[in-house]
Amino acid sequence: MIELSIIVPVYNEEAILADSVAELIRGFADMGLTAYEIVLAENGSRDRTREIAARLASVHPQVRTFSCAAPNYGAALREGIEGARGEFVLCEEIDLCDLGFHRRALALLRAGAVDLVIGSKAMRGAHDRRPLARRAATRIYNRMLRLTLGFSGTDTHGLKAFRRAALVPVVARCIVGHDVFASELVIRAEREGLRVREIPVDLEEKRPPSVHLLRRVPRVLHHLLRLMAAIHLGIGDRSRASSTKSSSSSSSTSSSSSSSSEP
Ligand SMILES: Nc1nc2c(ncn2[C@@H]2O[C@H](COP(=O)(O)OP(=O)(O)OP(=O)(O)O)[C@@H](O)[C@H]2O)c(=O)[nH]1
Ligand SMILES: [Mg+2]
């Protein structure tokens, strides 16, 4: 019985992937965690990420990986969550590996106090060491989510942990991919009355992001508009049957088409 599934979307991460996974495995051993799986959700990498992920999966029984063709953060996360086997799911980023968040989030989930824990970069008590432009972008984006979608928290992106049974049906109702998928998941969970708790994180990245901030803006705006149309007008909204493809992925790299709502 797996208690925790750690889903890590990875894209062109050959430089830090192996060390980061080793760091996670060491950290979980220190926490006394044994019943867990690390799922490396790769898509679209043009470097050796896929190969390294496959090697890690062959060496460590608790690591598995899958790949799909096109780079899409949301699609990778969605497929990872849908195939997760743990009672709890933790969404990690390979450049963060924040074991402090994992420890605190797991304690809250084990206590049954919450359904979803969000690691906020913007709430009181958080330390965000990213460059000013990215910190400002986070604030502006969160303000847009508050104004357009009634979001009441301070952050939707990055680290989160949840009770799988509570969130998988929400994932099934999400319609957008890429970066905005993470926001949609949090906002839908909040709107559906799930018990959501933000906790502050101390954010220090191991490397700058692979996609430049400004290049992400048009797609984010497009997806936000789609989400507003779905949530406020019901346009393109859907209620899919939830699909927990338990134990669907093998412990080695397998090609599978994305189950995401979009390319
Ligand atoms: N599978 C997959 N993973 C991705 C993709 N883009 C980013 N990632 C992964 O998502 C995580 C975060 O990516 P970053 O490049 O650090 O982006 P970021 O700007 O810090 O992300 P934010 O949390 O949105 O601020 C890392 O583990 C990346 O490897 C993608 O297109 N596909
Ligand atoms: Mg990052």
Alpha helices, DSSP H, located in the chain: 17-30, 49-59, 73-82, 99-110, 132-149, 164-173, 180-191, 213-233
Average pLDDT over residues 193-197: 98
Model confidence pLDDT, tens digit, residues 170-189 = 999 999 999 999 999 999 99
Report which protein residue has its CA nearest ligand 1's atom 19. Answer: 209
Cβ–Cβ < 8 Å for 262, 177 = yes
Question: Is residue 37 helix, strand or coil?
Answer: strand
Residue 208: half-sphere exposure toward Cβ, Cα within 13 Å: 7
Report which protein residue has its CA nearest ligand 1's atom 16. Answer: 209
Output Rg (C-alpha) for the chain, integer angstroms: 17
Check whether 248 has a pLDDT greater than 50: no
205 CA distance to ligand 2 middle (Å)? 6
- Exposed, middle or buried by CB within 10 Å (0-12, 13-18, 19+), for 23? middle
Contacts of 193 (CB under 8 A, 6+ apart): none
Report which protein residue has its CA nearest ligand 1's atom 13. Answer: 209
pTM, rounded to two decimals? 0.91
Can you tell me which atom of ligand 1 is nearest the CA of 72?
A: 31
pLDDT for the residue 238 = 73
Check whether 26 has a pLDDT greater than 60: yes
Model confidence pLDDT, tens digit, residues 209-218 = 878 888 899 9
211 CA distance to ligand 2 middle (Å)? 10
pLDDT for the residue 239 = 57
pLDDT for the residue 29 = 98
Share of the chain above pLDDT 70, in %: 90
Check whether 255 has a pLDDT greater than 50: no
Domains, the chain, in order of start with CATH, read 4-233 (3.90.550.10)
